[in-house]
Structure 1
Amino acid sequence: MGSGETSPTMVETHRSAIRPLGARPRAVLLDTPYAFQENAADISARARAYFARSVGLDVEVGGEVATADWVFSGPGSPTYALDRWLDSGTAAELRTRVRNRHGVTVLASAAACTAGVATVPVYEIYKVGAEPHWREGLDLLSPLGLQVVVIPHYDNAEGGTHDTRFCYLGERRLSRMEPELPDGTAVLGIDEHTAAVIDLTTDQVRVAGRGAVTIRRHGADLRLPAGLTLPLTELRHLTSGETTLPQAPPAPAEPPTPQTTLAELIQTHETRFTTALTANDPASACRAVLDLESDLVAWSADTEEDEGGVAQARQTLRHLITRLADHAQAARTLTTLTDALLHLRTDLRRSGDYPLADALRTALHTAGIHIDDTPTGPRWSIPRT
């Protein structure tokens, strides 16, 4: 998985993977990639809650993986995990699982970086400033005939003014690193909120989620869109380097179900909120805030810390509540002022000063306040636009 491994966008992908495992499969979460973080226990707790609530898996943290029915590992540092898996024997156990076609193995985000013949040391390059280089990989895919490096977050766009595609490497760094790969090695890029599902019972590969899987060799690439299923033999052929990549990707058998990320939901709710306040519709503004809070709860188990994540949603929620409070205060001030002006207009009319009373009514109308004179007295409103 390229990212989103504990988000609503990947729930159905997880569910479809565990269906063949039967009731109560033994499920193991490898926390190694983030074990060095101070909040490691919290990340594990959120992941366990996600898999229990959304996927129906009772997950244990750590433990022996060779015979587990389902093994998962996700965000953190690829090289931190790699060093410890190689030293502990976990690397050999993961290789054995794939070679023996046993159970389900899910590597996502940082953990996905380790799956190929080489690993992107993203922390060292992007965050520390090390020279672009590769580290050895677990090489889990060679037994399947795939000599590749796996790059998650392939379509990342967090950089804004600078290139953060290809797991934060960008084109300049990746182009520099590609010639250092062993001959015949291709890049297998997996977009965010996307999965490359290799089914070893049918020898088929399926692209699931909202993005694409990209095969890249010598700067040329072929995007395999979500919804596409192809034989594993064809993926071997496309990654082998023996032929030129075709210009057009194969067409999916059916269009994928649209997926929405939390970042997109945040933007949608914030736009709804602003539109409602502009139209002086506080009820709709409140609904936008409540819908954002509902989505925040649904995404609360997401362990990713990328742009548009749960932390940003909380910040946006607080900001919208503050704006709503400011709007309410402004509405109270407007009510006090308008009521006082209507009392003044009533007094002017009682004293026979109709021209000044009419001028006051016109001024209020110009300010967007509509006056209705009723048998029980004047009433004011602000028409919605």
Structure 2
Amino acid sequence: MIAIFGSGETSPAMTSVHQELIARVSDPQLNAVLLDTPFGFQENADEIATRTIAYFREHVGCEIRLASYRHGGRATALEFEQFLSRLGNANYVFAGPGSPTYALRHWHDGAVRERLRAKLRQGGCVAFASAAAIGLGAYALPVYEIYKVGADPSWTEGLDLLGEVGVRCAVIPHYDNREGGTHDTRFCYMGEPRLRLLESMLPEDVLILGVDEYTACIIDFEAQSVTVRGRGGVTVRRRGTDRRWQRTTFALSELSHPQVAPAAVPDSASGRPEPDGTDGSPMVEQAREWGAHGRDALDRRDVDGVVAAILETENVLNAWAADLVGTDERDRVRAEMRNLVVRLGDLVRGGGREGVREYVAPLIDVLLSLRGEARREQRFKDADRLRAILAQCGVEVQDTPSGTAWSLQSQN
């Protein structure tokens, strides 16, 4: 099997997908590995690996070992052979964020490609997400070079694992991305104009396989089927025409030889999709739902309800802690929580219910815990901002040798 995750590969939204895939390859036992090559150049590579392993242990309910190969030029011959051995013996191979071109550059050795192809022939599963997923096709998108550095649109050679199942394609995750707001960031940040140019560079027999965010495209070669799981869809596009599937199972032959229809594209003058009233991130949407509950409670002067909404928003951050999303999404969730905290402070100062300390104590303890975590991680600006928010809400924080204490400032 090949499982392609458009994004959110270590989020709660994709946990059940991993569990289902692992259950299908675990006879007689599971041997899962994490490939760290795509993010091997990053300074926080160790942290990403640790968080991913913890996600599989704590949420998926299984152990996954690290198959480390971060730089071909620095690895010894023994380290490379150990990497190949772990890769070859695994029946579940997972790789995710990072740089697709960096990974492909260090996977250029034919031995890596052959072991991945062997997984498909032997009934294992290759589960690639985000950057790693881009490398599955015959052609790979140098997304960072184009979007971040300003290189001209182009393709580079991919692993062509999907060619093993009869699908000659270029894989594009984050297909429905909407982070740009005022500019088109669909199609893995390329936007429609650049995608059209890139599409014109592909050979006639190569199609574009787009996978939306928080969506999995599961290709079962033995069953000759494709299953779409998650919140979005899978799109096959060729020369400006496309076909899309959502939450369904269909024949693999439809993917390799789709009957396509004209693609619906926005006015080229605007270059961006019409808003649909939702946010691209399930985490942010959950936080906004609790924010709406909190604002409703504020209107009713219900301190309990506001505190509950803030704590639930904090739970959203905890539940999605393993997801390797960008800081922007977490900042938006924190902004929802801070807004409720400040408005709760206004309610307290304006004469909220008596004995307010017992109602806000759980919330303040959570905020002080977040402040302590920020200080331990040397995020002093975040720690100072949390203290300032508490002060704005009438909470005085005292740092003492024995720990942190707090009190409600007297009201005038």
TM range (shorter): 0.7 to 0.9
Name 2:185's counterpart in structure 1.
Answer: 164
Which of the residues 269, 277, 282 maps onto 2:303?
Answer: 282
Question: Aligned-pair distance for 1:321?
Answer: 2.9
Which of the residues 36, 42, 52 maps onto 2:57?
Answer: 52
Change (3 A) 1:23 1:264: farther
Which of the residues 88, 91, 97 maps onto 1:66?
Answer: 88
Distance 2:318 2:99 in 1: 27
Q: Which runs of 5+ in 1 are unaligned?
A: 239-243, 249-258, 336-385
**1:265 equivalenced with 2:269 (yes/no):** no
Distance 1:185 1:103 in 2: 26
Q: Which runs of 5+ in 2 are unaligned?
A: 68-82, 264-279, 356-412
Question: Aligned-pair distance for 1:67?
Answer: 2.3
Which of the residues 191, 199, 203 maps onto 2:224?
Answer: 203
- Kept in 2, the 8 Å contact 1:124–1:130? The answer is yes
Identity %: 44
TM-score normalised by L of structure 1: 0.77
Question: Aligned-pair distance for 1:93?
Answer: 2.1
Distance 1:321 1:43 in 2: 31
Give the partner amino acid of 1:76: G
Which of the residues 257, 261, 265 maps onto 1:237?
Answer: 257
Change (3 A) 1:101 1:180: farther
Question: Aligned-pair distance for 1:312?
Answer: 3.6
Question: Aligned-pair distance for 1:202?
Answer: 1.3
- Alpha-carbon displacement from aligned partner over 1:197-226 (angstroms, at most 9, x marks no partner): 011231211011111100101011111112
- Kept in 1, the 8 Å contact 2:38–2:98? The answer is yes
- Kept in 2, the 8 Å contact 1:24–1:58? The answer is no
- Kept in 1, the 8 Å contact 2:240–2:262? The answer is no
- Kept in 2, the 8 Å contact 1:95–1:138? The answer is no
Name 1:148's counterpart in structure 2.
Answer: 169
TM-score normalised by L of structure 2: 0.72
Name 2:101's counterpart in structure 1.
Answer: 79
Distance 1:5 1:85 in 2: 21
- Rg: which structure is higher? 1
Name 2:348's counterpart in structure 1.
Answer: 328
Question: Aligned-pair distance for 1:23?
Answer: 6.1
Distance 1:109 1:127 in 2: 16
- Alpha-carbon displacement from aligned partner over 1:283-332 (angstroms, at most 9, x marks no partner): 11111111112222111110122753x45434443443344334323437
Give the partner amino acid of 1:67: N
Name 1:378's counterpart in structure 2.
Answer: none
Name 1:9's counterpart in structure 2.
Answer: 13
SS at match of 1:86: coil
Pairwise CA RMSD of aligned residues?
A: 2.3
Distance 1:268 1:184 in 2: 45
Change (3 A) 1:246 1:213: same
Name 2:134's counterpart in structure 1.
Answer: 113
**1:96 equivalenced with 2:118 (yes/no):** yes
Question: Aligned-pair distance for 1:114?
Answer: 0.7
Change (3 A) 1:333 1:292: closer
What is the number of equivalent residue pairs in this alignment?
A: 317
